[in-house]
Structure 1
Amino acid sequence: MHRRFLTFATAALTAAALTACTAGKESAPALGTQSKPSGSASLPATALELWHGFSAPAEVKAFEDAIAGFRQKFPQITVKLVKGVQDDQITQAVRGGKAPDVASSFTTDNVAQWCKSGTFQDLTQVIRQDGIDLSVLPEASRSYTEFEGRRCVMPLLADAYGLYYNKALMKGSQPPKTLSELTELTKKLTVRDADGTIKVAGFIPSFEYYENTASHLAPMVGAKWYNPDGTSAIGSDPAWKQLLRWQKELVDWYGYDKLDKFRKSLGQEWSADHPFYKGKVAMVLDGEWRNAMIANEAGSLDYGTAPLPVADDKPELYGSGFTAGTVIGVPKGAKNPQAAWELVKYLTTDTTALVTLSNALRNVPTTKASLESPDLKKDENFQTFIDIFGHPKTSTVPSSVNSSFNQEAIQEFMHQWEKGSVKDLDAGLAGVDKRVNDKLKLSGG
């Protein structure tokens, strides 16, 4: 299920804590400093503690099922799972010298700080020792698990974002492939009362609507977050202006006040009253997990999925999208780092473990073998997101000590933009750059 809605606040708190702290005293050897045992059976009997953020009973069971193979491979190692753990708890535990052996996070926003501060141990040496070929992972997932040459976490499961469409409301129309097609189809499918009140929206362009965040929309136009020197590219990359101008034109077509009123009248995103289920919105941007939620909450809905439409002048982007995901690693101070790495390696490279998790949680598995496994449960609608995840143009927010703040800064600006409060787009985006770059300096970037 989707968890990124929890991450902005958690990421901001964690980043602040990481910037202000030095990890606590290590009571155990660092990963890679010990001689590597020859063979799995040579690892001593030990107990590992793995912290993760899953909390629903089905999610917790999925994790237990996924490590069954590890327990069979290493019967001398016991694994205790601790559920419902958030990033700030991991950081505080490391600072206090009470780190778990293994920890998992739902967000990639803190990876740069974790790698830079040493909160999570560098896996580069043990990856090399064990001969792991990282090319089995798509480029995007490799990029969001390392920072400045330190790979301190591995990708566990991934989210990918695409377009969901209501087949009945589409009335035979094909899903749009370009922004101009999306605009045209939105106008065609929107239903209003005589006074202009919106009854059904073809597509809601508001940046305040559910998953319409800057990070999820940026790949539609190929917008860049950073310049080669690490400074913000939001104000200088023309793709951001392209996205904002397209969005504002569609908002103005609806009428901001009418669109805002309609948006606020809709059901909650995380409930059976989701407006897509109720036929109130014909097309929505969402992640792969929505397939499972539709099956559970609106099983009779006749819908399809497709990649997000892209800028008309960048057709090569079609089929790609945004990705991020769950990451897992060995925190600093882990008492049993070598055994902990074996568990991390198993969960992130073993096909059976990844397929087990994906089938239960309905997130995208991250290795090529797991994506192609005949045991992976997938239909046409889920296959869309597998294809998006594997597309060479699929992108993510690059690792940075500032990654959560820059997303918040542009999102705040976007809200003002769609309201009509921004009179000078160039100056406004330059102001976002200044905020991001000033924050970067304070963060030690």
Structure 2
Amino acid sequence: MHRRSLTFAIAALTATTLTACTAGTTGAPALGTQPKPAGSASAALPAATIELWHGFSAPGEVKAFEDAVAGFRKKFPQITVKLVKGVEDDQITQAVRGGTAPDVASSFTTDNVAQWCRSGVFQDLTPVIKQDGIDLSVLSAASRSYTEFEGKRCVMPLLADSYGLYYNKALMKGNAPPKTLSELTALAKKLTVRDADGTIKVAGFIPSFQYYENVPSHLAPMVGATWEKPDGTSAIGSDPAWKQLLQWQKELVDWYGYDNLDKFRKSLGQEWSAANPFYKGKVAMALDGEWRNAMIGSEAKGLDYGTAPLPVADDKPDLYGSGFTAGTVIGVPKGAKNPQAAWELVKYLTTDTDALVTLSNALRNVPTTKASMESPALEKDANFQTFLDVFAHPKTSTMPSNVNSAFNQDTLQEFFVRWEKGSVKDLDAGLAEVDKRIDDKLKLSGG
């Protein structure tokens, strides 16, 4: 189900759209403005038809959503739910602006949550959460963080992604997965195989920031790097953890040789195909998300592999077991024609254990409540359990909600790539310039 690599362009487009947009008004009632129906919700809700837009499109994904909604239909037989597949974020925003909003909408990315909360594209769920007595402590701290902004919780977490280390057991030759960056460096060098002319045949680990999932947000938790200061301005230039990450990474890139590593990287198969180099024994260890387990099961059956948390900075052993998380979010857009019925569907999909387990078993993403992660009905083995544990770890982190989330990540990614190429001569000055670009953008966005 992973969509993270597909969302940055969408996020950037949507953020631009939202900055200039005032959400359309249709006269539809807003959440929390109507008295709660007396009696049980299932008996008191009037008959209605609601429409749910989601981004899933593959047949198995669509069926999973239908199966999860089946329980809601049984609980609320008077509510007809229509599911619309393959919807992207900009379509949701435009529908709200045009007065044709669906009752419920979900997104694969958290990058637009801050803009949606601020602009009102999605309604604040806080009043109905309080009204229904929902205990948000059943959610992880990270997932609570990425579903709110400026005191508004305008979406709920549906499923989550978490990131860890995949390793090819045959290529590891009996070595245990590394727990620290120094261990990762040593093992990467030990497992790398070269031709006589130095050409890489097998990489122990590819440290390039241009390789698949090696983006700043996924790597930051390995060193405990922070994105923002308490006042919301950029912390990238002042937090020494970013410099620690970059210096570790550049040392390993230079050991391979940038040109040699880049040539090897460009020769590899596509990330989202059966030619993925981890399947083919070209890479011994790789950073990836929990969804890769399902892909290996369908695209590389028989591959003998293991999973573990990502290695962490040697001086921060307490971080081991944690990682990065983000995920699918769902909420009630402004202009929903049946907001109370819409909220009941959002609440069901995000808090009902059976619904979350149904989705997780089909899509192989992490369910987001404690009860669903501990459910005996949840299908899991040791390799999937790694990602459940990472998600539940108290030090697991996420991107802070920010109206410029996509811009901030892209700006740092651009700098990371210049750094690994050797184009940055003064690291401190370069990181300070990243801060300036991010802070200038924040001022333009109104803070």
Q: Which TM class, normalised by the smaller chain length?
A: over 0.9
Unaligned runs of 5+ in 2: none
Q: Shift of residue 443 of structure 1? A: 1.6
Secondary structure, in 3 states, of the residue corresponding to 1:67? helix
* TM-score normalised per structure 2: 0.99
Q: Report Cα offsets for 1:209-249 as digits up to 9, x if no partner.
A: 00000000000000000000000001110000000000000
2:369 matched residue in structure 1: 367
1:90 matched residue in structure 2: 92
Q: Shift of residue 27 of structure 1? A: 2.3
Q: Report Cα offsets for 1:234-279 as digits up to 9, x if no partner.
A: 1110000000000000000000000000000000000000000000
Aligned residue among 163, 166, 170 for 1:164: 166
Secondary structure, in 3 states, of the residue corresponding to 1:97? coil
Instruction: Supply the AA of the counterpart residue of 2:48.
Output: T
Instruction: Supply the AA of the counterpart residue of 1:126.
Output: V
Instruction: Supply the AA of the counterpart residue of 1:98.
Output: T
Unaligned runs of 5+ in 1: none
The within-5 A match list for 1:374-393 is 374-393=376-395
Instruction: Measure the CA separation in 2 of the matches of 1:158 and 1:317.
Output: 20
The within-5 A match list for 1:144-183 is 144-183=146-185
Aligned residue among 191, 194, 200 for 2:193: 191
Aligned residue among 247, 258, 261 for 1:259: 261
CA contact (8 A) 1:27 1:97 kept: no
Instruction: Supply the AA of the counterpart residue of 1:27.
Output: G
Instruction: Measure the CA separation in 2 of the matches of 1:199 and 1:248.
Output: 21
1:407 matched residue in structure 2: 409
Q: Report Cα offsets for 1:278-311 as digits up to 9, x if no partner.
A: 0000000000000000000001100000000000
Q: Shift of residue 26 of structure 1? A: 2.9
Q: Shift of residue 25 of structure 1? A: 1.4
Instruction: Supply the AA of the counterpart residue of 1:412.
Output: E
Instruction: Measure the CA separation in 1 of the matches of 2:148 and 2:6.
Output: 22
Instruction: Supply the AA of the counterpart residue of 1:48.
Output: I
Secondary structure, in 3 states, of the residue corresponding to 1:162? strand
Instruction: Supply the AA of the counterpart residue of 1:81.
Output: L
Instruction: Measure the CA separation in 1 of the matches of 2:6 and 2:435.
Output: 25
| CA RMSD, Structure 1 to Structure 2 (Å) | 0.5
Secondary structure, in 3 states, of the residue corresponding to 2:167? strand
Aligned residue among 187, 201, 204 for 2:203: 201
Instruction: Measure the CA separation in 1 of the matches of 2:267 and 2:335.
Output: 49
1:34 matched residue in structure 2: 34
The within-5 A match list for 1:1-400 is 1-38=1-38, 39=40, 40-400=42-402
Q: Shift of residue 79 of structure 1? A: 0.2
Instruction: Measure the CA separation in 1 of the matches of 2:446 and 2:375.
Output: 43
What count of residue pairs does the alignment treat as equivalent?
445
Q: Shift of residue 194 of structure 1? A: 1.1
Secondary structure, in 3 states, of the residue corresponding to 1:396? coil
CA contact (8 A) 1:50 1:100 kept: yes
Instruction: Measure the CA separation in 2 of the matches of 1:285 and 1:403.
Output: 22
Instruction: Measure the CA separation in 2 of the matches of 1:77 and 1:59.
Output: 22
Identity between Structure 1 and Structure 2 (%):
85
CA contact (8 A) 1:105 1:327 kept: yes
Secondary structure, in 3 states, of the residue corresponding to 1:387? helix
Instruction: Measure the CA separation in 2 of the matches of 1:443 and 1:158.
Output: 28
CA contact (8 A) 1:185 1:202 kept: yes
Q: Shift of residue 6 of structure 1? A: 1.1
Instruction: Supply the AA of the counterpart residue of 2:419.
Output: W
Q: Hey, which bits of structure 1, 4+ residues long, moved more than 2 A?
A: none
Q: Report Cα offsets for 1:110-131 as digits up to 9, x if no partner.
A: 0000001111000001000100
Instruction: Supply the AA of the counterpart residue of 1:419.
Output: K
Instruction: Measure the CA separation in 2 of the matches of 1:382 and 1:6.
Output: 23
Instruction: Measure the CA separation in 2 of the matches of 1:233 and 1:144.
Output: 18
Instruction: Measure the CA separation in 2 of the matches of 1:275 and 1:412.
Output: 24
